[in-house]
Amino acid sequence: MNAHLSRRATLAGLAATATAATFATPVRAQQLTLRMSTPASPTDQRSLALEQVFAPAVRSFATYQPHYNASLFRQGTELEAIARGNLEMSITSPQELATLIPQWSIFTAGYLLRDADHQKKVFASPIMNDMKKGVEDRLGVKLLSVMYLGRRQLNLRTEREIRTPADLAGVKLRMPNTEAWLFLGQALGANPLPLAFTEIYTALQTGAIDGQDNPLPTNRDSRFYEVTKQIVLTSHLVDQNYIAFSKRVWDRLNADQQRTVQTAADAAAEQGRQAQLRLESELEAFFRERGLRVYAPDIAAFRTRVQQAYLSSKFAADWPRGMVEQINAIQ
Ligand code: KDO
């Protein structure tokens, strides 16, 4: 806990230095390389959208340089890298933000956001202004746009049917390595084990874990279907990522360039969102053809248990007052 606090304080200091050191001369193409680090694969729809839409839009003043499969920075260390001035962009998540700014854990709660449209409207709404400003001020990171990863589903190598959270007792469920992610695994009724995204396939293959949770497009892209037997359609989290951009770099851009970056990020996020939605609607059939069982459990039982777990958790104490109700009210 103390280590956490001092890490937060250090990052706030770094971000302040970053802002003070900015200069306003417009940036030229040869000066600016936008290194983007992500654990995602190059064929993930978010990666494709950034390459196909974002990169060409900013080409006159910036070179977009993606690094996939966590090859530049380890999963979960990217925000710190941006805060320190060692990285320009990442695809971050509320779970990563929550490790540094606890109020962000509100978006790690299962069964809160309803769907992709709700997610997009919530991110654009004024209730997010303070949250976004907090990330800029404390980490030196601008959250440009929200990217839809999809509805997370359980994907298991075991055959036992899962109808309710009780059926997950003892199931070793891989989760990303943050406190908020591990809590989600526990809230679902499983025994959560932390593991980096890039290690999932081998862990499923060897039986080090019984399963993992990710949206259907990710399960296909990373070929998890080759080493699992069933997908349980819990839809427990409408998962979101954010295009994270260094505020230090942003402040070096002129107003036109800033507008271009913002528009390009929104357009890339939209392309990615539509692609993920299309894939989600097609992929159940794909997995069934490959021999997996794909079925819906008792979703009400999962929803009730997960929502109760979050509302009575220590995380909820950090959520901005009234924000759950405000999120629910956005149509
Ligand atoms: C994962 O590690 O399961 C996860 O889906 C978590 C997301 O927040 C996101 O970081 C994603 O991995 C990576 O981008 C890899 O697709």
Q: Which residues of 225-234 are buried (b: 16+ CB within 10 A; e: fewer)?
A: bebbebbbeb
pLDDT tens-digit readout, 273-285: 999 999 999 999 9
Using CA atoms, how far residue 268 sits from 43, 53, 272, 273, in Å, is 14, 5, 6, 9
Burial of 301 from C-beta contacts in 10 A (0-12 / 13-18 / 19+): middle
Cα of 305 vs centre of ligand 1, distance in Å, is 24
Cα of 152 vs centre of ligand 1, distance in Å, is 10
Hey, whose CA ends up nearest to atom 14 of ligand 1? 40
Structure tokens at 56: 């060409």
Q: Relative to the CA of 218, which ligand 1 atom is closest?
A: 16
Q: Relative to the CA of 213, which ligand 1 atom is closest?
A: 3
Rounded CA separation 195/213 (Å): 12
Give residues (CB < 6 A) around ligand 1.
38-40, 44, 91, 93, 149, 176, 197, 214, 218, 241
Which sign does the torsion angle of CA 159, 163, 169, 173 carry? positive
Cα of 25 vs centre of ligand 1, distance in Å, is 36
Hey, whose CA ends up nearest to atom 7 of ligand 1? 93
pLDDT tens-digit readout, 260-272: 999 999 999 999 9
Hey, whose CA ends up nearest to atom 16 of ligand 1? 40
Check if the beta carbon of residue 253 is closer than 8 Å to that of residue 142: no
pLDDT tens for each residue of the chain, 331 residues long: 333 334 454 555 555 444 444 445 666 655 899 999 999 999 999 999 999 999 999 999 999 999 999 999 999 999 999 999 999 999 999 999 999 999 999 999 999 999 999 999 999 999 999 999 999 999 999 999 999 999 999 999 999 999 999 999 999 999 999 999 999 999 999 999 999 999 999 999 999 999 999 999 999 999 999 999 999 999 999 999 999 999 999 999 999 999 999 999 999 999 999 999 999 999 999 999 999 999 999 999 999 999 999 999 999 999 999 999 999 999 9
Q: Relative to the CA of 215, which ligand 1 atom is closest?
A: 5
Cα of 197 vs centre of ligand 1, distance in Å, is 6
Cα of 39 vs centre of ligand 1, distance in Å, is 7
Cα of 217 vs centre of ligand 1, distance in Å, is 12
Rounded CA separation 221/279 (Å): 10
